[in-house]
Structure 1
Amino acid sequence: MKKYSFYPLFIAVGLFLVFLFLPKSWLENAISDHKAKLAATELNPLMFQGDYMQRKILSDPTYFPIYGSSELSRFDPFHPSNYFAANQEGFTPFLYGRGGTQSLIQFMNLAAHADQLKGKKMVIILSPQWFHKEGIGEGHFSSNYSMLQGYGLAFNHTIKPELKKEAIRRLLQFDVIKRDTVLTALYRDEIAPSKYNHLKAEAVRPIALMKKKLLEKKDRYYTLLGGKQRHRHDNPDLVKDKSWAQLEHEAEKYAKKRANNNPYLIDNRYYKRKIAPMEKKLRNYKKDTSFVESVEYNDFQMLLDLLKDAKAEPLFISIPVNGRWYDYTGFPKGDRNQYYKKIKRQVETAGFPIADFSDHEYDPYFTKDTMHIAWKGWVYLDKEMEKYWKQ
């Protein structure tokens, strides 16, 4: 008769219990300041969807957070992370964002840290392509959604109740939320109080609390063990101790070597891979597109309201599209200009400053591809960041 050993099972269960019940404070003590410094440029989705590292960063006055989306990964020597590493101004940029981290994702993240935002300077980069009619889609939302932040919002008593309800109503439109019956019960009790909804919410509340605690513990382990450094394409000698005019000149020289095989001044490799094979088909394909009417404006307003209530000090950056390419695709120039004016007005009405780069649509080498700021664009952003930090 075959004998089975249960020792591996006992060991596995034992290790699981150790990981589960290991005090959170022990894990946090093992996370070094050096780990935080590395996290500033990792652009690690697990960190974005977590809590601990961002809380650590926001409590440190030497970090200057930059919230954006996919443009943050366009590293070159002029990228803020590289420029301010070479030119010390008393702060380290901390990058938060990847493709799809639009207004609603930024809202959920900053709502989780609303108690830390008072007087906190930050940069928020606004991308025109967020403002399509439907706003953020299910794919981008679900891939960037943080379950920890979703549960955190249910138990959040820091933000204003009406703003919280508005956010919950919006979140309940997404499948990834609707599939979570525990979270949905808490959310529905918040926005549609009734005896039935309240009893249902109270029944699942202990489960929700336990789930939230487990997610927090998981976040600490990811923070301790995860993360991978990116290649930042830094070149300190190229950017150190230069005037802004010199930096613009250096950025143009640097970019010109890398964007010379197409009339749109797009990065050669991007053009060759993404555009050249289907360029003729793309002529005028955006002639019926608009950024003027979009669900995204409501999501963005929630973000503005949150930041205003929290007394944060954000500097918004309005970045342009590549005018040459957008003209080729037929995207109406008048519509683009309406978007730039509308987003500027929305930010200023909320009482926040905005650096409006919309007049750089045709500025050579301001964008790296069809829409992402880079090269000379980073020089302008670096200048605005330095000025805002010193105010």
Structure 2
Amino acid sequence: MKKKLWMIFGPVIVAIVALLILLWAPINFKTVTPTKVQQAATSLDVRVLKGESVKNAAEKENYIPIIGSSELSRMDPFHPSSMAQKYHWKNKPFLLGNPGTASLTQAMNVGGMANLKGNKAVMIISPQWFTKSGVQAEAFKYFLSPLQLTGFILNSDHGDKAMNKYVANRIIDLGVSKGVIEDNALERISEGKQITSFQRFYIKRVSRASLQSQDNLFGSISMNNHQKIIDKASSKLPDTYDYKHLNKLAGKMAKEHSTDNELQIGNNFYNKQLKKNIITYRNTHKHVTYTHSPEYNDFQALLYMFAQNKVEVMFVIQPINPYWVKYTGMPLSSITNFDTKIKYQLKSQGFNNIVDLSQVKNPNYIAEDTIHMGWRGWLMMDHRLKNYYKDKKANPKNTQYKMDDYFLTDKWANDTNFSN
């Protein structure tokens, strides 16, 4: 009888024990190959965003991250990944963003990128993040990585105390719960206290050790593969880089792909997302404002993460489709005031490399949909990236940041008394 039971349950028990050993054994599994990193660079796979092993492997190779949100999925010929492939940039973009990711998610993401220290990054800022309510709790909880959370908790004994308190309080306020011990540790950090010795031991040796093993084992399995899309897009570009010629080509392609509407929106997006209810959007944004938002505080947490690791950052303020702005009745002051406020927050602390696409002389076909870059917008950004990507190491002169805790306050979140 015992032999029969073992024949039935033995293999299951052995499999469970083997899995537990894999997840908790102090073994560094080498599953992230250069080929996997190349695939991950354009995959936009959420496991890559929430993990650490693939991104840290990419930082050892010729990749510079572009951090953003849903605009990164607009892979037309002028997308940075297409341009980098066609024109053989020394360093290639590594895309980190998904629809719904905003400043706080990316702060946790950057905090977990140990190998980003002393290197470059690109950060795309979306005005629409900066609403009165800020990031949606469900979106943040979905993208919050338990692995990155444990890293934040363990690193909370150093760095800026005000920032650590802010992030811990924000995570708690957004309703995140990842375990009793982790929750209690966050409570202590939010109160300005250090975590206990037991909390450190458990989170480091048990919780985080298991999460790291899972990330090493499963973080790069069956990722999205967008290489064929990039290949097709880059094949439409001329062999020689000439900005004026490419600018005309971008306008031509954009015009050909936005024939179903007068808003210069790509046909695919327009027909799927807007056509049936387009009339309901007319004059609906008359009272939109982007100057009162907790997102400014979340953005400051992200800036702290960059500053702590001496990361040189190019910030790109992406445009809102000007035809959409007019159709929805959005006041131009909503955009200009946001632009002034966010640039004040950046420049006053030493983040001076800003590519502002929110106000350009010729905005035609700068956006592919309503609020995301495409075609000429990508090309304008690429033109600045081309030289920036020649060296991935940060210039120490460009990382002399002077951080100000005022930008973590409610007063700043709602402040309109600022200058550029």
After TM superposition, the score normalised by the length of structure 2 is 0.85
- Structure-2 residue corresponding to 1:33: 34
Q: How much does 1:299 deviate? A: 0.8
Distance 2:271 2:29 in 1: 47
Task: Report if aligned partners of 1:308, 1:350 keep a CA contact under 8 Å in 2.
Answer: no
Q: Deviations along 1:348-377, whole A, 9 cap, x unmatched? A: 122121011112496121111001101111
Q: How much does 1:387 deviate? A: 2.5
Deviates more, 1:120-129 or 1:283-292: 283-292
Distance 2:8 2:57 in 1: 37
User: Is 1:227 paired with 2:228?
Assistant: no
Q: How much does 1:294 deviate? A: 0.6
- Structure-1 residue corresponding to 2:411: none
The alpha-carbon distance between structure 1 residues 217 and 344, as it changes in their structure 2 partners (threshold 3 A), is same
Give the secondary-structure state (helix, strand or coil) at the position aligned to 2:88: coil
- Structure-2 residue corresponding to 1:317: 316
- Structure-1 residue corresponding to 2:373: 373
Deviates more, 1:263-272 or 1:204-213: 204-213
Give the secondary-structure state (helix, strand or coil) at the position aligned to 2:170: helix
Q: How much does 1:237 deviate? A: 4.6
Q: How much does 1:263 deviate? A: 1.2
- Structure-1 residue corresponding to 2:95: 95
Give the secondary-structure state (helix, strand or coil) at the position aligned to 2:224: coil
- Structure-1 residue corresponding to 2:287: 288
- Structure-2 residue corresponding to 1:169: 169
- Structure-2 residue corresponding to 1:340: 339
Q: Deviations along 1:123-159, whole A, 9 cap, x unmatched? A: 1000111100111111211121111111111111553
Task: Report if aligned partners of 2:44, 2:98 keep a CA contact under 8 Å in 1.
Answer: yes
Q: How much does 1:49 deviate? A: 0.6
Task: Report if aligned partners of 1:117, 1:312 keep a CA contact under 8 Å in 2.
Answer: yes
- Structure-1 residue corresponding to 2:43: 42
Q: How much does 1:242 deviate? A: 2.5
RMSD: 2.3
Task: Report if aligned partners of 1:27, 1:221 keep a CA contact under 8 Å in 2.
Answer: yes
- Structure-2 residue corresponding to 1:356: 356
Q: How much does 1:41 deviate? A: 0.5
Task: Report if aligned partners of 1:321, 1:372 keep a CA contact under 8 Å in 2.
Answer: yes
Residues 87-126 of structure 1: matches in 2 within 5 Å?
87-113=87-113, 115-126=114-125
The alpha-carbon distance between structure 1 residues 91 and 205, as it changes in their structure 2 partners (threshold 3 A), is closer
Distance 2:220 2:43 in 1: 14
Q: Which amino acid aligns with 2:11?
A: I
Q: How much does 1:48 deviate? A: 0.8
Task: Report if aligned partners of 1:323, 1:362 keep a CA contact under 8 Å in 2.
Answer: no
Structure 2: segments with no counterpart, 5+ residues: 392-420
Distance 1:116 1:159 in 2: 17
The alpha-carbon distance between structure 1 residues 18 and 386, as it changes in their structure 2 partners (threshold 3 A), is same
Residues 1-391 of structure 1: matches in 2 within 5 Å?
5-22=5-22, 25=27, 27-28=29-30, 30-60=31-61, 62-113=62-113, 115-156=114-155, 157=157, 159-177=159-177, 180-192=179-191, 205-209=200-204, 210-230=206-226, 231-232=229-230, 233-352=232-351, 353-360=353-360, 363-390=363-390
Q: How much does 1:304 deviate? A: 1.4
Q: Which amino acid aligns with 1:55?
A: N
Give the secondary-structure state (helix, strand or coil) at the position aligned to 1:234: helix
Task: Report if aligned partners of 1:129, 1:291 keep a CA contact under 8 Å in 2.
Answer: yes
Q: How much does 1:226 deviate? A: 3.2
Distance 2:381 2:12 in 1: 51
Distance 2:192 2:197 in 1: 12
Q: How much does 1:16 deviate? A: 2.9
For this pair of structures, how many residues does the alignment match? Answer: 382
Distance 1:224 1:134 in 2: 34
The alpha-carbon distance between structure 1 residues 14 and 72, as it changes in their structure 2 partners (threshold 3 A), is same
Deviates more, 1:353-362 or 1:265-274: 353-362
Q: How much does 1:204 deviate? A: 5.0
Q: Which amino acid aligns with 1:20?
A: L
Q: How much does 1:98 deviate? A: 0.6
Q: How much does 1:287 deviate? A: 1.5
Structure 1: segments with no counterpart, 5+ residues: none
Q: How much does 1:333 deviate? A: 1.1
The alpha-carbon distance between structure 1 residues 79 and 239, as it changes in their structure 2 partners (threshold 3 A), is farther
Q: How much does 1:206 deviate? A: 4.5
Q: How much does 1:163 deviate? A: 2.1
Q: Which amino acid aligns with 1:34?
A: T
Give the secondary-structure state (helix, strand or coil) at the position aligned to 1:55: helix
Distance 1:143 1:271 in 2: 27
Distance 2:302 2:329 in 1: 31
The alpha-carbon distance between structure 1 residues 169 and 247, as it changes in their structure 2 partners (threshold 3 A), is same
Distance 1:9 1:160 in 2: 52
Give the fraction of aligned pairs with identical amino acids, expressed as a percent. 30
Task: Report if aligned partners of 2:127, 2:318 keep a CA contact under 8 Å in 1.
Answer: yes
Give the secondary-structure state (helix, strand or coil) at the position aligned to 1:358: coil
The alpha-carbon distance between structure 1 residues 255 and 7, as it changes in their structure 2 partners (threshold 3 A), is farther
The alpha-carbon distance between structure 1 residues 224 and 261, as it changes in their structure 2 partners (threshold 3 A), is closer
The alpha-carbon distance between structure 1 residues 81 and 90, as it changes in their structure 2 partners (threshold 3 A), is same
Give the secondary-structure state (helix, strand or coil) at the position aligned to 1:248: helix
Q: Which amino acid aligns with 1:171?
A: I
Give the secondary-structure state (helix, strand or coil) at the position aligned to 2:233: coil
Deviates more, 1:3-12 or 1:240-249: 3-12
Q: Which amino acid aligns with 2:213?
A: K
Distance 2:332 2:144 in 1: 33
Give the secondary-structure state (helix, strand or coil) at the position aligned to 1:27: coil
Deviates more, 1:288-297 or 1:235-244: 235-244
